[in-house]
Amino acid sequence: MLLPATPAALRRAAAALRRGEPVGFPTETVYGLGANALDPAAVRRIFEAKGRPDDNPLIVHVTGLPMLRRLVLEVPAEVRALAARFWPGPLTIVLSKRRSVPDVVTAGLPTVAVRIPDHPVALALIEAAGVPIAAPSANRSGRPSPTRAAHVARDFPGLLVLDGGPARHGLESTVVALGDPPRVLRLGAVPVEELSRVLPGLVVATKARARAESPGMKHRHYAPARPLVLYRRSRAAALREALEADPRALLLCADADAPLFPGRSPVRLGGEPDEIAHRLFDALRTERRGSLLLAYAVEKRGLLRAVMDRLERAATRIV
Ligand code: TXA
Ligand code: MG
């Protein structure tokens, strides 16, 4: 059930959360499927509803540092610096958890991933519920993340969903672990270059390392309803041939690259990097008729690095 995020709808959603029921809600990155983070039974319902493997920990959303302090053993100086620059916003930080955080939230890890979302509805919902909210992206496990309330309603018929309009970033938060060196475990809406300014020595964890530290990274993600073949930027000619061979194939590319593939009207990713990030999951959920999705890679820099990460993980094959 889609409800515009009015004060009455917020009260209703907060009451549902307190009763242990799941709620779909908007954040600035993607829509979340929320549960009271301190109620293990409520959190288990999120895993069941998503069909999520139980070794994939959830992000806990809080309104501010006082609520955060109730969940973690300590708030290191780096966190205060990161918070000053990026919170509220699309940055998730992995910290040592207190016992009050149920194991089901963290998939048994000794750490908990936390962030302060930059969305008035998300903040008002946490405030009204009076508890931190554990929330993965509100898609069935393995599907593209939802950037609109309607995507959530489609994946979860019957779920109470607060509609806050299309997500501003359209790409999930960047997940970072502190330590020596600090590591990006998942690329996301805060580009690595920007994070490095606050966290000198920051490295992007290798795929193997990210999988070991952040179990969610090993699962299949973002799969569109049909196969997606991703062509590297050096393989434009191969992509042209594939398009000629299959007139029903749908082309997915950035606006600037469309002239490389004349005669096809692409599923558009847009122009500027933030527009491309914003449209990506919508494009993966395209309802246009056709056979395969054939995607042309974007350059791996800034925000587009995270876009490429998602495309690579969505792809059934990379050429
Ligand atoms: O933007 C976002 O982050 C969205 C919105 C709803 O906040 N949430 C989201 O959640 O993308 P989800 O569940 O789709 O992805 C959570 C990621 C996974 O890659 C998981 O492995 C990682 O965060 N994660 C969660 N807890 C962790 C922990 N304790 N240690 C390492 N990684 C963790
Ligand atoms: Mg997700």
Give 136-157 pLDDT, tens digit per residue.
999 999 999 999 999 999 999 9
Spatial separation of the C-alpha atoms in residues 292 and 289, rounded to whole Å: 10
Pocket of ligand 1 (CB under 6 A): 27, 29-30, 32, 56-59, 90, 92, 94, 106, 109, 111-113, 135-137, 172-173, 175, 185-186, 213-217
Would you place residue 33 in the very low, low, confident or very high pLDDT band (cuts 50, 70, 90)?
Answer: very high
Backbone angles phi, psi at 262, to 5 degrees: -65, 155
List strand residue ranges (DSSP E) for the chain, in order. Answer: 2-4, 23-25, 32-36, 59-61, 91-96, 111-115, 133-134, 161-163, 174-177, 183-186, 203-204, 228-231, 250-253, 267-268, 293-296, 317-318
Homologous superfamily in CATH for domain 2-204: DHBP synthase (3.90.870.10)
| 13-32 tens-digit pLDDT | 999 999 999 999 999 999 99
Homologous superfamily in CATH for domain 228-318: Threonylcarbamoyl-AMP synthase, C-terminal domain (3.40.50.11030)
Q: Where are the domains of the chain?
A: 2-204, 228-318
Q: How confident is the model over 304-314, as a mean pLDDT?
A: 96
Q: Which ligand is nearest to the CA of 113?
A: 1
- Looking at residue 162, its amino acid is L
| Res. 220: pLDDT tops 80 | no
**pLDDT value, residue 209:** 87
- Looking at residue 188, its amino acid is G
**pLDDT value, residue 122:** 98
Give Dmax over CA atoms of the chain in angstroms.
Answer: 59
Would you place residue 107 in the very low, low, confident or very high pLDDT band (cuts 50, 70, 90)?
Answer: very high
Distance 203 CA to ligand 1 centre (A): 18
